[in-house]
Amino acid sequence: MLLETGFRGGALALFGLLAIIGLPGTLRSPIGRATLLFDLCVIAFLIETAPGIHEGLVWWIIPLRILSNSIAGVFVAWAETVFDDSQSTRWRWAVFVALLPLAGVATLSGSSLAWNATHAVTLIVVVVETARVLAGRKADLVEGRRRFRIIFACAVGLVILATTMLDAAGVGWLPGLSAVLGLAIVAAMIRLRAVMPEATLEPAPAARGGLTIPIAATEMSAEERQLAERLRRAMEQDRAYRDSDLSVDRLAEQLGVPEYRLRRTINQRLGYRNFTDFVNEHRLKEAREALSDPAQSRVPVLTIALDAGWGSIGPFNRAFKGQTGQTPTQFRRRALADSAIGHILPESARSDATSGKTPTSA
């Protein structure tokens, strides 16, 4: 009992300290807001599962229990904020918003059906999100964040999974175990702050155009400049991006360089945080040119997408609209209309010249 109390108190103190340390500027930062809410969820969990409290339902424990059992939603929002470089944030909090009322019904009613539904949703959400985090590791170009994906999945995702399963099974010694699990989450959060400063975690800037290097060439070694040039030729001349299965290791093998060097060059010298974004930038450039070409006006959009390296139309449509704000069909219609106007105006000018008129003549 004394040992359990010590563990729980230590975990609460560490999480409180982490929340206080990260408070300055927290509300202005997406990752700061997500991390603070995650901290609060774990603190609520450690309090509401304490011996003597876990069995009761006094008024002040109700919001803590609801927040504690909504942690899977915060887990998704936090993971997507940390590991996903896309600018879309609308759906990241959807799971949390959906879990809050479900946890509220389970807490207030005590219904076994509601609790089983809450546990089932939590398990599914955590498994899916942990799999997404691990699947994205290969394309991640930020080395510290890439390493942390494994720590995150093991020390946070598995902890939530284990706690949910034990609670659903009615394990009597869960309150004591929760203190130890809380410490494991604390360790993971401390590790996050140690290996990845907040600037690294912030959403990526807009994707670069082509292979323009944002860092002065004088800051690059001769070896780095040579690799950047070889990479440019592979992407712009050889069109390596047309390989729908192109990955960092496959491209490194084609260039005959170690994978870590290629990752570092694309990330630190070209400004991309994700290999998929780097490849898609070239695919989208080719697609935009093809859709704007009157000679290809009858080529199906699907054919253009497949030729540019996409394996299916869905991801292409999402990436295209995310970059241009238009669907490929809308973009093509507008681009071809602008092209037609561009051809009409020179013809009109030549006609006026042969008839002796000027643009201002009556």
Tens digit of each residue's pLDDT (9 = 90 or more) over 270-298: 889 899 999 999 999 999 999 999 999 89
**E-assigned strands of the chain?**
none
Residue burial 219-254, b: 16+ Cβ < 10 Å; e: rest: ebeeebeebbebbeebbeeeebbbeeebebeebbee
Q: 330 pLDDT band (50/70/90 cuts)?
A: very high
Least confident range from 4-8, 138-142, 190-194, 213-217: namely 213-217
Given this model, what pLDDT does residue 278 score?
A: 93
SS (H, E, C) 250-293: HHHHHHCCCHHHHHHHHHHHCCCCEHHHHHHHHHHHHHHHHHHC
Looking up tokens 């695919």, which residue turns up?
Answer: 283
For residue 90, what pLDDT is reported?
Answer: 67
Write out the two tokens for 194. 């140690």
Q: Is the pLDDT of residue 215 over 50?
A: no
Secondary structure (DSSP) of 242-259: G-TT--HHHHHHHHTS-H
Q: What is the pLDDT of residues 80-113, one digit of tens each?
A: 888 887 766 667 889 999 999 999 999 898 888 9
Of the candidates 191, 167, 169, 189, the residue with the CA atom closest to the CA atom of residue 177: 167
The single-letter DSSP state of residue 86 is: -
Q: SS3 for 274?
A: strand
In the chain the domains, ranked by start, together with CATH numbers, are 2-201 (1.20.1070.10), 217-353 (1.10.10.60)
Query: Which positions ≥6 away from 278 have C-beta within 8 Å?
Result: 141, 266, 270, 272
Statement: residue 26 has pLDDT above 70: no
Note the maximum CA span of the chain.
102
- Measured in residues, the chain has a length of 362
- What is the pLDDT at residue 150? 82
User: CA 159, CA 152: separation in Å to the nearest integer?
Assistant: 10
Residue 242 in contact with residue 185, Cβ under 8 Å?
Answer: no
| pLDDT of 356 | 53
Phi, psi of 361 (to 5 degrees): -75, 155
Mean pLDDT in residue range 131-150: 86
Our measurement of the distance from residue 327's CA atom to the centroid of its chain's CA atoms, rounded to an integer in Å, reads 22
How far is Cα 180 from Cα 161, in angstroms, rounded to an integer?
A: 14
Amino acid at the residue 198: E
Query: In the prediction, which pLDDT does 204 show?
Result: 44
What's the pLDDT at 143? Answer: 83
Winning range, highest mean pLDDT, from 54-63, 140-149, 242-251: 242-251
Residue 183 banded pLDDT, cuts 50, 70, 90: low
Ramachandran quadrant class, 52 (left: phi over 0; alpha: psi -120 to 50; beta: rest): left
214 falls in which pLDDT band (50, 70, 90)?
Answer: very low
Question: What average pLDDT is seen over the chain?
Answer: 79
Partners of 140 in beta bridges = 274
Orientation angle between helical segments 313-324 and 275-292, nearest 10 degrees: 80
Say yes or no to pLDDT of 234 above 90.
yes
